[in-house]
Amino acid sequence: MDCKVTSLWLLVTLLIMYPGVYAPDYQFGREPTDKTIIVGNGSASDTESFILKCEVLYMYDDQRVGWLKNDTFISINETIFDLPGTDLVDKSRYTAEKPFHDCRRCGGTYTLTVTGITPATAAMDSGKYQCATFFANFQISYMTSPAVITIYAVPRQNHPLCRLSSPSKSNISTSTPPIAVLPYETLTLACLSDPGLPPVNMSWSRQNHTGDLQPSRAGQTREGLSFIEYKWTPSNALDMNTVFTCRVQQSTIIEYDSECSIGPFIEESDHTTQILPIGESATMRAGRVIVFTASILNVLFYSI
């Protein structure tokens, strides 16, 4: 019994004289918290950011502090790094700050700041973040609970974008219908949109036809836009009256539903198109008859 009392007094004496001996090697006063961010649905320059903080009560001089993303280290103290051959983070937009020294029982606020978040970076910046202390061999001695960053990327307000092309014309204007096209020439109808996160649903439909049209091709452009294409060959006057509509939908905490259209069309003979200055009133130039379309700026030249 006396032995137990003596041992207890010895333990109390050690804790009073050396309070750090039996304390954990690393502590956090505040852990990072979950965040939800919405980007997009505005101009192309719209960006968002977030800051994660963990309050370090004390750490030892042989330890380091760092941030993990999805269970992989992305920083050591104030150095941001990534794994070779991966795009885990964009180091130009990630900043870690540790305004305290490595010493016994030193502490302070360790932060991770992520800036320049756009619809294009939403997938990269979303994920699970944790703050941890570790030794030189990356042996983790303490780690916070995860902060889950959820980023919803909504397409911009001017999306989707409808485009029209043919073998004879790489870009046919669709802003002033009816659109002049050659009969029996296959047209490519393209619809482009910010990809969104979660990904948007894109579909083509045709006036007076039930159900969605089967796209001929889908994917992403080099600029990171999602697209779907539909091939169509007009063959008669009835075809010319049709209108195609691309619809883009996304279900997030913000409901996004937008569309663009192409059509109707008019038959165009085999000729070239030239734009004359406003006010041009000539009816014959260089042996060619000028035929005016519905737009006063578009002049069609027929050889005679």
As a whole number of angstroms, the distance between CA 221 and CA 194 comes to 10
Query: What tokens does 194 get?
Result: 């910010």
C-alpha distances in angstroms, 132 versus 24, 75, 239?
14, 10, 65
pTM of the prediction? 0.62
Q: How far apart are CA 197 and CA 153, in angstroms?
A: 5
Rounded CA separation 155/253 (Å)? 13
Residue 300 makes CB contacts below 8 A (sequence gap 6+) with: 180, 268, 271, 273, 290, 291, 292, 293
Q: Helix, strand or coil for residue 19?
A: coil
Tokens matching residue 228: 């779907």
Q: List pLDDT tens digits, range 274-304.
A: 444 444 433 333 333 333 233 333 333 223 2
Tell me the pLDDT of the chain averaged across its residues: 75
114-117 contacts, C-beta under 8 A, 24 or more apart: 114/49, 114/50, 114/51, 115/47, 115/49, 116/47, 116/49, 116/90, 116/92, 117/37, 117/39, 117/47, 117/48, 117/49, 117/50, 117/93, 117/151
Among 65-74, 109-118, 292-301, which stretch is predicted with the lowest mean pLDDT?
292-301
pLDDT in the model for residue 202: 95
Are residues 248 and 190 in contact, defined by beta-carbon separation less than 8 angstroms? no
Beta bridge pairs of residue 298: 275
What mean pLDDT comes out for the span 10-20?
Answer: 33
Phi, psi of 136 (to 5 degrees): -60, -30
Amino acid at 99: P
pLDDT of residue 278: 45
Q: Which of 64-73, 157-166, 248-257 has the lowest mean pLDDT?
A: 248-257
Q: Which residues contact 24 (CB under 8 A, 6 or more apart)?
A: 142
Give the strand pairing for 127-134 and 64-69. Answer: antiparallel
pLDDT at residue 10 above 60? no
Residue 37's pLDDT is 87
For residue 212, give the nearest of 195, 238, 200, 230 by alpha carbon.
Answer: 230
Q: How far apart are the C-alpha atoms of 50 and 116, rounded to whole Å?
A: 10
**How high is the pLDDT of residue 101?**
67
pLDDT, tens digit, 9 for 90 and up, residues 204-258: 999 878 788 999 999 999 888 999 999 999 888 778 889 999 999 987 667 789 9
Residue 269: the pLDDT is 65
Residue 113 or 223, more confident: 113
